[in-house]
Structure formats: C-alpha cells, structure tokens
C-alpha cells in the first residue's frame, strides 16, 4: 500500500468510532433526539406568539432558546452517528399555538423542561444499566444544562408572579428576559455546543 492509500485507510479508520453503539442506548438516544426537536418547535411556537402579542424581549429569548434546543438535537445526532449508530429523524407532534399570557408561557416552558429532565434521566439510566460509560459521560452535559434551564425558568416565573398584572412592570420584565440566558448569550452558547 502506498503512502497516500495508507493515509486514507488510517483516516477512515479513525474518522468513525467502529464500536457499535449498544442498541438499547441507541434507541434511548434516538428518543432524546425527538424530545429535543419537539422542544425546539414548542419554543418556536411560543416565540411567534410573543412576537405578535407585544413581547419582543420574550420573543427574542424564545427564538434563541429554540435554536439552542436544535443544537442539543444536532449534538445527539452527531454523537449517535459517530459512535456507529444511526440517528433517526422522527415525526414530531404539533406544538401549542395559543397562550394566555407570559405567565402561561413560562409555566408551560417549565413543565416541558421537567419532562425533558425526566427523559434525560431515563437515557442516563439506560447507559448505566448497559454499562455504556462513554455515553453516560456524554449525557452529563445535558444533565447540567437541564439544571440551568429549570433554574432560569423558576427565576422568570418568580419575577412574573411578583408583578402580577402590572402592565408597566411587564414591559420592563419583557425587556430583561431578552438578556437572560436564552437571549443573545444563550444563542452563542448553543451555537458552540
């Protein structure tokens, strides 16, 4: 084999992890890919509602949050494919389109994130049962991310509860929400994930 052929053979060998992903772990990761896609769509729908109902800050936050969730999905897709599995792009359910107010949006967002945390814990559980410590390690990033996202949602809900129906205060909170994690800084973080 000449030098170039040897290089390409070695490159191909190293470009993919040839250990096949455990099937149960692969299925759990594929379920999580769908969950992240659904999160992205759910927040996109909320962003649209906020945009046309006079909440530009919340809308910016939710558009960025939707982008972040897409990055979470892509990160899983690449991991599954790189580890010798096959990422599945599944059909997802249609998200809610109508919301009562900002309180309603963030209550739904928190409840959604609680469900995502349960789904991530399930993937971690499968990894431990199947003794797949590599995927277990990879999933720790998602575990930490959920702690951050739930804390932020609680924080926003607390602020909204404090102001109740005070329209002036709502204006300022909407402006603040734009600068919170899911806003510009969050979009940057998601893009680098």
Applying CB under 6 A, the residues found at the interface with ligand OFO are 36, 39, 69, 72, 113, 116, 145-146, 149
Question: Hey, is 181 helix, strand or coil?
Answer: coil
Q: Which is nearer to ligand OFO, 136 or 170 (CB)?
A: 136
Are 104 and 57 in contact by the 8 Å Cβ rule? The answer is: no
Least gap, CB of 156 to ligand OFO (angstroms): 14
Least separation in angstroms between residue 46's CB and ligand OFO is 13
Least distance to ligand OFO, CB of residue 159, Å: 20
| Alpha carbons within 13 A on the beta-carbon side of 83 | 20
Q: Do 135 and 83 contact (CB within 8 A), yes or no?
A: yes
Closer CB to ligand OFO, 110 or 184, in the complex:
110
Output 17 or 117, the one with its CB closest to ligand OFO: 117
Give Cβ neighbours of residue 155 (< 8 Å, ≥ 6 apart).
none
For residues 68 and 186, is the Cβ–Cβ distance under 8 A?
yes
Output the smallest distance, CB 32 to ligand OFO, in A.
9
Q: Alpha helix (H) ranges present in 53-90?
A: 56-82
- Closer by beta carbon to ligand OFO, 72 or else 170: 72
């Amino acid at each position: 084999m000449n030098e170039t052929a040897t290089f390409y053979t070695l490159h191909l060998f190293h470009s993919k992890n040839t250990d096949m992903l455990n099937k149960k772990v692969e299925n759990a990761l594929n379920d999580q890919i769908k969950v992240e896609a659904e999160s992205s769509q759910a927040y996109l729908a909320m962003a649209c509602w906020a945009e046309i109902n006079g909440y530009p800050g919340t809308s910016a936050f939710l558009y960025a949050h939707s982008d972040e969730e897409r990055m979470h999905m892509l990160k899983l897709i690449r991991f599954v494919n790189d580890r010798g599995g096959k990422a599945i792009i599944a059909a997802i359910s249609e998200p809610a389109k109508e919301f009562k107010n900002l309180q309603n949006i963030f209550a739904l967002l928190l409840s959604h994130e609680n469900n995502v945390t349960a789904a991530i814990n399930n993937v971690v559980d499968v990894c431990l049962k199947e003794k797949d410590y590599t995927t277990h390690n990879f999933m720790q990033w998602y575990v930490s991310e959920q702690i951050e996202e739930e804390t932020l949602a609680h924080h926003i809900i607390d602020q909204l509860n404090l102001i109740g129906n005070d329209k002036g205060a709502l204006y300022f909170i909407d402006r603040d929400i734009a600068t919170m994690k899911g806003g510009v800084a969050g979009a940057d973080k998601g893009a680098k994930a």
